[in-house]
Structure 1
Amino acid sequence: MQREAKQGVWVSRWTFVAAASGLAIGLGNFWRFPHEVGEYGGLLYLLVYMGLVVVIAMPVMLAEVVMGSRGRANPESSIQFLNLEADAHGAWRIVPVVAMITGLLLLVHLVVIAGWVLSYAYQLGDARLEAISIEFAGEHFAAYISSGEEMAKGLTGFFLVLAPLAMLKMTRFTGQLLRLLVPLILIMLVAALYAAVELGDLGAGLRWMFEIRREDFGRAALVSALGQAFYTLGIGVGAMMIYGAYFPDGRSISRQVFAVAVIDTVAALVAGVCVYALVLDHNIEPGNSVALLFISLPYVFGNVLFGDLVGSMFFILLALVMLCSALALLEPTIAWLVEKTPLHRWFAVLLLCSLTWGAGLFIVLDVAAPGEAFWLYALNRVAADYLLPLSALGLTLYAGWVLREVQARDELYYCGDRTFWIWRQLLRYIAPPAILAILLLSIVQGF
């Protein structure tokens, strides 16, 4: 008999792969990961990172999906059900609550940046940034983030797309949309790669990503690779648990998790080659984060043939990626409200989006005010650097030491005995110390 969550189940396992990949292919794949690869040793960094994904990120992601699949409900209710089966202490229910709160805080940060991305997609398509200098690109961005009105328009525009989609039932309508949207994102990535070949220096981009530079790889590189491996698959926010709750019976969870990890890594590599093939062709020193995305790339697109079209397409691609992530970050709390309160889904979405939009507007106005955008950076630091590792550590400890072997085995019936044993050992002895190290390093760096 097909077990089914209150919100239904995915139409197929590929819907899960599409939805989870949409979360995993986050903005960091475009502005953090490529820079870290080039900065810390190229191919050497990449190999270490991929190894850490296999031994840390994938086991934890698999654990979250397994717990969700077993519980068949929102993250908090799933842990409550698992507690009853395992005769565990009720205090463990705090962990998924922290995860859902973390997801909402990260969503506030994400929607602010998504508003910027939408604005730049429009400005590039409008040829407003044609034939500009790098100095003008910097001045234009400074002027943009000084205008609360302009940023509020982008923020509101993003919510006008996000809210109606989130109101649709995830397992049916939105899930089917994601099955179309994620392949579209991958097709647009291939198109961006073609544009990089035609308009940029592909060789420079490949060298930046794949040359072995031993002199650049040290302790800082190892810490970076550990952090990137941890953050890349969207663990610690409850999204993988709720996506696991919608997972259909009779399918291999481990294979689908592996597919998501492969798609995420390939997308990150292609994005990195595209970005740096374009940037390095114009002799711009590769930067990180905001400067790369909103200064360097607009300058490049403003000075190449068909740059308005290519640039607008690239920023639309980013907006679609962020839309997939936003839907995933919202879903655990939507499911919690629908299952634990009398609220209908549409009202729960309206409530959450209104609160998130209000918080985003507050941050936008703070960014526009004279100063250093304290709340934007503080929010990201608290959510991403402290709460995310903390919630992931709690979920990992629960999966490794509280979740009974028979509970996990019932969900992983396609998994071989040796593979299952290795997964359990990684969850118990490898992943927790690594995540704890990330948390402690984040705390030390914060002071």
Structure 2
Amino acid sequence: MARETWATRAGFILAAVGSAVGLGNVWRFPFITGQEGGGAFLLVYLLFVALIGLPAILVEFVIGRRTELNPVGAIRDLGSGAWNYLGWLFVAIGFVILSYYSVVAGWFLRYTLIGVLDGYAVADTGEAQALFGTVATGIDTLLFHAVFMALVIGIIAAGVRRGIEIGVKIMVPAIVALLVGLAAYGFTLDASTAAYGYYLSPDFGYLAANWTSILPAAAGQAFFTLSLGMGVMITYASYLGEDRNLVADAGVIASLDTLVAVLVGFVVFPFLFAAGLEPGSGGPGGIFVSLTTAFAGIPGGRVLGVVFFGMVGIAALSSAISILEVLVSYLMDELGVSRVPASAALGVAVFLLGVPVTIDLIFLDLFDLLADGVLLVLGSLLLALFVGWVIPDIAREELSRGIGDLGPFGDVWIWIVRVPIVVVVAVSLYLGVVDYVEFLTVDFAEWLAAR
């Protein structure tokens, strides 16, 4: 069957941005930033995106456009021996991430509906925590998980141009517009000055004392929010039907994604400080507990809450379709399965894997810490080694298409991939593995013992 391509450059860029702008930016970013010291984490995160994330996007772009294949087929086409199995890692990562991602996205859909029907009438943090407890697990959670996955399946089944491209052209501008409006409102709150100080002023003493936790958190967040290490950018670049300037496209994508992440901070932290709440408290449910408490106590909070939670639901959808597309493209390319049955079968499989997360939140930690701190970083590390040391000449040649003579930039990029990226990502992977082992031997072991 003929391989689909993007109809426009804007469609490709918006799809890649839509993949990056999702729960990673709006759900994970605020509570990770709060947990890791505010401005100290923001500084390391921004440096990671600029110095590591941008070159890493190009790594995935050159592989995808060169082969016009899914991650499994792409790595097999360019490599040999043990490298042939690298593509399977991305398929596994996609399954794991989307399984719990869909559950969390269902939370945002449900909070949007709660705002429309009842409003956020919580008197204090305790009531907000009780509300989150009813939303986070149970039969209703399973239902919203199913609804969200059905939406994702429907968009993917419609195809690249009629489904993904049309969808992101609507969703991404809407997300940005809503964030700008909410950030403008946050600026009017009395607590905004203190919030901006916490968010934008790094505490270098805190950074020096806590770099072992901040570095892997920033690395994982950068890879998660840029959709790196899971094969998404390989898959999207494989649909490029003509020579493009990949450097320019990567710069636009990374810049827009980072802009959205920073905007989210300008939305969330003024609301938290206005409500007198501690940033980063409450873990994965913290943003729900803190923001519903904030929305309940400010003028127009019900409307703002509906807009915010609805916007995050849209952002989650734009990211989820990119992850499922990685899996669907594998079945289409490797096994010749048509798009509709491939979308349905894989969507159902992902839904089933996410069912435990709707039963107990310990499984959210189990999946998220594994995917974010270990698998995504591992995938990016192996890709950097592959491009930098196994196929550097092919990578330079592919990058030059649409640009012309790279001059010294090609060699500089390859050496950045070979050494700084490999070293920093390897250290981040080690720290992430240490954190995950600690979680398994302490938190998860205690949960098992209590059963």
Same fold (TM over 0.5): yes
8 Å CA contact 1:38–1:208 kept in 2: the answer is no
Q: Residue in 1 aligned with 2:126?
A: 135
Q: CA RMSD in A?
A: 2.1
Q: Residue in 2 aligned with 1:97?
A: 88
Q: 2:317 aligns with which of 315, 323, 327?
A: 323
Q: Does 1:348 align with 2:342?
A: yes
Q: Give the superposition deviation at 1:105.
A: 0.8
User: In the comparison of the two structures, how many residue pairs are matched?
Assistant: 431
User: Residue 10 of structure 1 aligns to a residue in which SS?
Assistant: coil
Q: 2:152 aligns with which of 133, 155, 162?
A: 162
Q: Residue in 1 aligned with 2:374?
A: 386
Distance in 2 between residues matched to 1:104 and 1:156, nearest whole Å: 15
Letter in 1 for 2:386: Y
Q: Residue in 1 aligned with 2:389?
A: 401
Q: Does 1:118 align with 2:109?
A: yes
Which stretch shows the higher mean deviation, 317-326 or 123-132?
123-132
Q: Residue in 2 aligned with 1:62?
A: 58
Please give the residue correspondences for 1:154-303 in structure 2 after superposition, counting only pairs within 5 Å: 154-198=144-188, 201-218=191-208, 219-220=211-212, 221-288=214-281, 289-303=283-297
Distance in 1 between residues matched to 2:362 and 2:326, nearest whole Å: 28
Please give the residue correspondences for 1:44-83 in structure 2 after superposition, counting only pairs within 5 Å: 45-83=41-79
Q: Residue in 2 aligned with 1:337?
A: 331
Q: Give the superposition deviation at 1:409.
A: 1.8
Q: Taking structure 1 as reference, are residues 340 and 214 closer, same or farther at Cα in structure 2, changes over 3 Å only?
A: closer
Letter in 2 for 1:55: L
8 Å CA contact 1:96–1:395 kept in 2: the answer is no
Tell me the alpha carbon deviations over residues 116-161 of structure 1, each in whole angstroms, 9 at most, x when there is no partner: 1111111122234225322111122223335x11212211221232
Task: Give runs of ≥4 in structure 1 deviating > 4 Å.
Answer: 35-45
Distance in 1 between residues matched to 2:411 and 2:427, nearest whole Å: 24
Q: Give the superposition deviation at 1:418.
A: 2.1
Tell me the alpha carbon deviations over residues 367-422 of structure 1, each in whole angstroms, 9 at most, x when there is no partner: 2xxxxx33222222332222222222221111111114145323433163222211
Q: Give the superposition deviation at 1:60.
A: 1.3
% identical aligned pairs = 26
8 Å CA contact 1:195–1:310 kept in 2: the answer is no
User: Residue 197 of structure 2 aligns to a residue in which SS?
Assistant: helix
8 Å CA contact 1:68–1:241 kept in 2: the answer is yes
Distance in 2 between residues matched to 1:381 and 1:73, nearest whole Å: 29
Tell me the alpha carbon deviations over residues 202-241 of structure 1, each in whole angstroms, 9 at most, x when there is no partner: 3233212112422222124444434433433111111000
Distance in 2 between residues matched to 1:388 and 1:344, nearest whole Å: 28
Distance in 1 between residues matched to 2:83 and 2:102, nearest whole Å: 30
Distance in 2 between residues matched to 1:149 and 1:200, nearest whole Å: 40
Q: Taking structure 1 as reference, are residues 47 and 442 closer, same or farther at Cα in structure 2, changes over 3 Å only?
A: closer
Q: Give the superposition deviation at 1:41.
A: 5.9
Q: Residue in 1 aligned with 2:441?
A: none
Distance in 1 between residues matched to 2:202 and 2:395, nearest whole Å: 44
Q: Does 1:412 align with 2:400?
A: yes
User: Residue 251 of structure 1 aligns to a residue in which SS?
Assistant: coil
Q: Does 1:310 align with 2:304?
A: yes
Distance in 2 between residues matched to 1:40 and 1:152, nearest whole Å: 31
Q: Give the superposition deviation at 1:200.
A: 6.1
Q: Does 1:106 align with 2:102?
A: no
Which stretch shows the higher mean deviation, 350-359 or 407-416?
407-416
Tell me the alpha carbon deviations over residues 230-267 of structure 1, each in whole angstroms, 9 at most, x when there is no partner: 43311111100011101232321111111111111111
Distance in 2 between residues matched to 1:111 and 1:38, nearest whole Å: 23
Please give the residue correspondences for 1:371-382 in structure 2 after superposition, counting only pairs within 5 Å: 373-382=361-370
Q: Residue in 1 aligned with 2:449?
A: none
Q: Taking structure 1 as reference, are residues 254 and 78 closer, same or farther at Cα in structure 2, changes over 3 Å only?
A: same
Q: 1:12 aligns with which of 8, 11, 24?
A: 8
Q: Give the superposition deviation at 1:334.
A: 0.4
Instruction: Give the gaps of 5 or more residues in structure 1.
Output: 84-88, 368-372
8 Å CA contact 2:275–2:293 kept in 1: the answer is no
Q: Residue in 1 aligned with 2:18?
A: 22
TM-score by length of 1: 0.90
Which stretch shows the higher mean deviation, 72-81 or 26-35?
26-35
Distance in 1 between residues matched to 2:216 and 2:367, nearest whole Å: 22
Q: Taking structure 1 as reference, are residues 238 and 161 closer, same or farther at Cα in structure 2, changes over 3 Å only?
A: same
Q: Give the superposition deviation at 1:326.
A: 0.7
Distance in 2 between residues matched to 1:119 and 1:252, nearest whole Å: 41
Q: Give the superposition deviation at 1:314.
A: 0.5
Distance in 2 between residues matched to 1:356 and 1:111, nearest whole Å: 9
Which stretch shows the higher mean deviation, 272-281 or 25-34?
25-34
